[in-house]
A and B are shown apart, each in its own frame.
Chain A
Amino acid sequence: MSLKTFLRGVHPFDGKALAKDSPIRQVQMTGEMVFPLSQHIGAPATPTVKPGDHVLMGQQIAAPGGFVSAGICSSVSGTVRAIEPRTTIIGETRDSIVIENDGKYEAVPGLGEKRDPSSLTPAQIRDIIRDAGIVGLGGAGFPTHVKLTTKDDSKVKYVIVNGAECEPYLNSDYRLMLERPEELLGGLKVILSLFPNAEGVIGIEDNKPEAIRLLTEKTASEPRIHVEALKTKYPQGGERMLIHAITGQDINSSMLPFDAGCIVNNVATVIAVYMAVCCSTPLMTTVMTITGDAVKSPCNLEVPIGCSHKDVLEAAGGFSVQPEKLISGGPMMGTAMYTLDIPVQKTSSSILAFAEDPVADNPSSPCIHCGRCVQACPERLVPQMMQVAADNDNFEWFEKLGGMECIECGCCTIVCPAHRTLTQSFKYGKTSVNRLRREAQAKAAVEKSAK
């Protein structure tokens, strides 16, 4: 049987063996906890506490700042010290709630209480998910209750669980699938209860045979759920590639998965839904893989959101050698951090520490037009021509070449023998096109109102 997959893509060194077999270890933190109000796509959350307030573990400390937004719940009990700008993973400062952790982990009443999802209406389920502050934990951080609110719930044919985990080095979703399969299936059933005509599909790359075997066993008697083994290839876990592999349908940048009858959530998100709906536990922790050749003992830790990366690294055992580079997320799409003194967010799934930085070691040289980028691009674009367009600010041509379809997966950049920073140019090109579109819209609006 040939495995389902997509066209093109790359096979980077996967490095998963470092921490693959290390079971998730729960860690509690002490000291200062920092909760940026913007950890998701959409409007920042609005604080519901003020400095001096005492908060309990599981208490909402910020409410959604709009429909496309998410609230935040405290992962510890303690005292609110301040609401002030703090440096976040992306390297910029964001307003954040700072809580002094009293170490008592005093819970709000009702935390952890079992709840029967069949007694809840779809609207109640969505409200619980919203109040629990759940966002897409695969990295994008799109508010989950928004994703689960569609124009027509009966048109959803597939609820896809993204268990591809195609980013090299990361293991958190793999460990969750192995260690918490009941919670995963429970969460999937909750989501399926919202969409009467949908089947649940768990897509897993075939480099995780244990997870495929376990979940296939567990779903054998589930009429609405099955496991789909996928070919191991990056970016198999990209939303569009995953939908293509599982349903054969292609979506583009101006479409939503819903347009192909799909709802896609990653493993950690589905488990968070289970915890919120069935166990009255909002999103307070995240599972992180701490790995890389500069880490003494690579492992998987479940840590409270809001703690410092520095504390997570210490809990993992620290560095074996001084790293040149730290990455939050995977090496393909993650964000480089210049310091460890940054709070862990909802979407944090890893700390990668590398003794050497291949980016700094390989400066760009002239393009030799070899076409490897074209062979690698899963979006079937022409990165070489797009870079020329973006670098020359020829945004019209950039758009015509399909530049807005770029998913910034990085395939073109890692196969380039001239080590050109293609993805960087495309981020610039896309941002510029979006800016120009906004300006054009604003101008049109002004002209319209003038008439």
Chain B
Amino acid sequence: MNEMYNVSVSPHLRSETGTNSIMRDVAIALLPPCLFGIYNFGYKALLLIVVSVLAAIVTEFVYEKLVKRPVTVGDFSAVVTGMILAVNLPATLPLWMAALGSVFAILVVKQLFGGLGQNFMNPALAGRCFLLISFGSQMTAFPAVDGISAATPLTAMKAGESVDLLQMFIGNYSGCIGETSVLAILLGAGYLLLKKVISIRIPGIYILSTMVFIVVLNLVTGNGMPTGGYLLAHLFGGGLLIGAFFMATDYVTSPITPMGQVIYALLIGFLTALFRVVGKSAEGVSYAIIISNMAVPLIEKATVPTPFGRKKGKGGAKA
């Protein structure tokens, strides 16, 4: 026998899109919010982003070296985790805290549960919530922007003050590094939608349902019908938009079944509205998402679609 050709099971084609190109697209889409954050909050924001990303990469590298697993920092997923954590931090946070958040995200939430694809909740958001619980005051100490009040719009609204919607759209107000500018977030989201990295299903339903539940909860709690301005402030303010497009859409921690995605998005929408309207703090996107993350395996099991040619309810098991 002279020549032997490669043999494999069909199909004999493979996607040109790889995990790393997807993650790279997410990192590119996160650039507008990051850049606006740096413009808004200055060099401190830049430093925080760099430290978070570096800490995420180094943690992944060192852990994988230690346990002798293949090193996966080249797939850009650690970069994305670092960036998402950073855009959810206030610019004044001490750098070591940001680094600690990244270490927690990568080491505890991602690697200890089996690495890429195995984490049960969004690592960056888990890292943020970890910091929020550990360093509550530093995590909510938002710096003043251009002399405007240091209170975030949602905090101000909760206290009964009025907010400037146009400034909120552009992003000239206080908050986490990447969450303030609606414009910058929509730019990044548009890129992800265009590249088909995400579909509109989860963010669309999440945002819409949040609005609906905010109205419902306001009526139920006796606050009366909210005004359009109030709803827009909730839409633009806090982490709703960046959470909807960049975090609720996280592949690993969102369902893959079409019906599951709907239920998951509704659940986050409900929890976000609940935390914002009834809860003590003004914000609730991070917690809403990570709590819903944990329901994903259950949601998926319950929403396995009926296969082609099968009747609803009969499943595929019948011979």
Contacts and interface: CB of A to CB of B under 8 A. Distances in A.
Q: Do A and B bind each other?
A: yes
Interface of A: 7, 12-13, 91, 168, 240, 244, 250-255, 323-327, 329, 331-340, 352, 354, 357-362, 365-374, 378-382, 384-385, 399-405, 408-410, 413-419, 421, 423-424, 427, 437
28 contacts: A252-B308, A332-B12, A334-B10, A336-B6, A336-B7, A339-B5, A357-B6, A357-B8, A358-B14, A365-B18, A366-B115, A367-B117, A368-B22, A372-B15, A374-B258, A379-B307, A379-B309, A380-B308, A381-B305, A382-B256, A382-B305, A399-B317, A400-B316, A402-B316, A402-B317, A405-B307, A405-B310, A437-B319
B308 A333 contact: no
B136 to A, nearest CB: 32
Contact of B10 (A371, A410, A417): A410
Given A337-B5, A359-B14, A401-B316, 5 more contacts: A325-B12, A358-B12, A368-B117, A410-B11, A427-B9
Contacts of B251: 368-371
B179 interface: no
A168 B18 CA distance: 22
A371 to B, nearest CB: 4
B318 interface: yes
Contacts of B310: 252, 402, 405
A368 B8 CA distance: 23
Given A337-B7, A385-B300, A403-B316, A357 B307 contact: no
A417 B166 CA distance: 40
Contacts of B257: 374, 382
Given A365-B19, A405-B310, A419-B14, A326 B117 contact: no
A438 to B, nearest CB: 12
Nearest to A419: B14
B112 interface: no
Interface residues of B, number: 46
A381 B258 CA distance: 11
Contact of A325 (B5, B77, B116): B5
Contacts of B161: none
Summarize A's interface: helix, strand, loop or mixed.
loop
A369 to B, nearest CB: 5
A304 to B, nearest CB: 24
A398 to B, nearest CB: 9
A404 B317 CA distance: 8
A337 B179 CA distance: 55
Given A338-B7, A381-B307, A413-B11, A369 B315 contact: no
Contacts of B21: 417
Given A365-B19, A365-B75, A366-B115, A423 B10 contact: yes
B319 A331 contact: no
B15 A417 contact: yes
Interface string B205-249: 000000000000000000000000000000000000000000000
A417 B117 contact: no
- Of all A-B residue pairs in the complex, the 6 with the closest CB atoms, nearest first, are A402-B316, A410-B11, A252-B309, A371-B256, A402-B307, A250-B309
A365 B76 CA distance: 14
A405 B256 CA distance: 19
B97 to A, nearest CB: 28
Contacts of B254: 369
B13 A331 contact: yes
B9 A326 contact: no
Contact of B14 (A240, A373, A414): A414
A413 B13 CA distance: 8
B307 to A, nearest CB: 4
Contacts of B10: 329, 331-336, 408, 410, 423
B156 interface: no
Contacts of A380: 305-308
Contacts of A405: 307-310, 316
A437 B12 CA distance: 30
B309 A417 contact: no
A327 B308 contact: no
Interface in B25-40: none
Interface in B114-166: 115-118
Contacts of B317: 399-400, 402
Interface centre among A240, A244, A359 (most CB of B within 10 A): A359
Interface string B283-298: 0000000000000000
Interface centre among B3, B115, B253 (most CB of A within 10 A): B3
A56 to B, nearest CB: 34
B304 A423 contact: no
Given A374-B258, A385-B300, A415 B15 contact: yes
Contact of B18 (A323, A382, A419): A419
A416 B12 contact: no
